[in-house]
Structure 1
Amino acid sequence: MSANNVLVVSATKSEAAYVPQGYELLITGIGKVSAATAVASALARYERENLPLVVNIGTAGALHAHHGGLYVPGVVINHDISSTAIRALGHDVADRLVLAGGDDSVLATGDAFIADTATRDALAQRADLVDMEGFAIAFAAQAAGATCRLVKHVSDHADDSALDWPAMIDASARELGRWLLDNV
């Protein structure tokens, strides 16, 4: 696939600092609402038969001590929606998406910045990694009919080390840029 058929999506400019020349780049801002709105707006500019591959690059917190490096999650969950309660009220809710071409890791997405061990440990029962945009980007892409790939580099362990996130972004951005060169 050529860079012409790819929309690279990142929450921040810092995470996208090493995106190679030639790729269309969309900076969404942080959080699910900003991400979904930006991706939906961007994809609305395309004809349905010419939709690009949406590649979300970004940092993630590891929910288990043994996780590090780069992941292409095959499953993404919306961890901070009250799915059980909504279903009990008789409504369906999308809170889990399977992504073609992903690995066996599970990414949990929510609007909360996870920086404490109690929350991390609770999430670790359901997922391997945590971020703030992946589910929203995948959901918006899927709704438009586009294929989406999530590419996440571990920047911290979703504990007090997450407070050093700004200092860790550059190393993650380099790995994400390298992944784009090697895989897209």
Structure 2
Amino acid sequence: MHEIEERILEYLKEADEPKSISDIRTELSLSDKAVSVHMRNLVGNGKIIVVGAERRKYYIANNQGVAAADFDKLKTKSLEILVPAKAASDEAKEEIDVLRKEIKNMYANMISIMAVFVAIFSIVFAGGNFLFQSVNETWSMHTLIAFGAAEVGIIIAILIMLWAIKKFLNK
């Protein structure tokens, strides 16, 4: 192995993190050409491993003696592990979304049932109160119209409330 390659390899072995060509060139005071030629040799021989980034490549020492072809196998093996894990994660997210929708529907149903009970009690209470107050008075058409208007008003208010609950829960 060439002396420059040994220096590069030793630098990468001692490094705490992956290094760029610029880092290596600066630290070892080498020319661009020398670094690129020797880095190509070291990568080809499997002495160092390229850790890809979008715009810039980083390098680490291959302390485990993994050849370049073996490194590709390791990447493939890690994908074999990661892909099913990702799929399981996606399935779990879908199940969570389904459960959230079911819980939301349960809330909507409970609130709707409570609104119906409130409506029934309101109608009964309003009717009873109206009849109680009108016991001493004589029944007339005006009394009946007022009673009907009160009951219809309560029913309309409850229907509006049920509609608003449904709109709120379907957001």
- The TM-score range, normalised by the shorter chain, is under 0.3
Specify which structure has the higher proportion of helix. Answer: 2
* TM-score with structure 1 setting the length: 0.20
Q: Which has the higher strand share?
A: 1
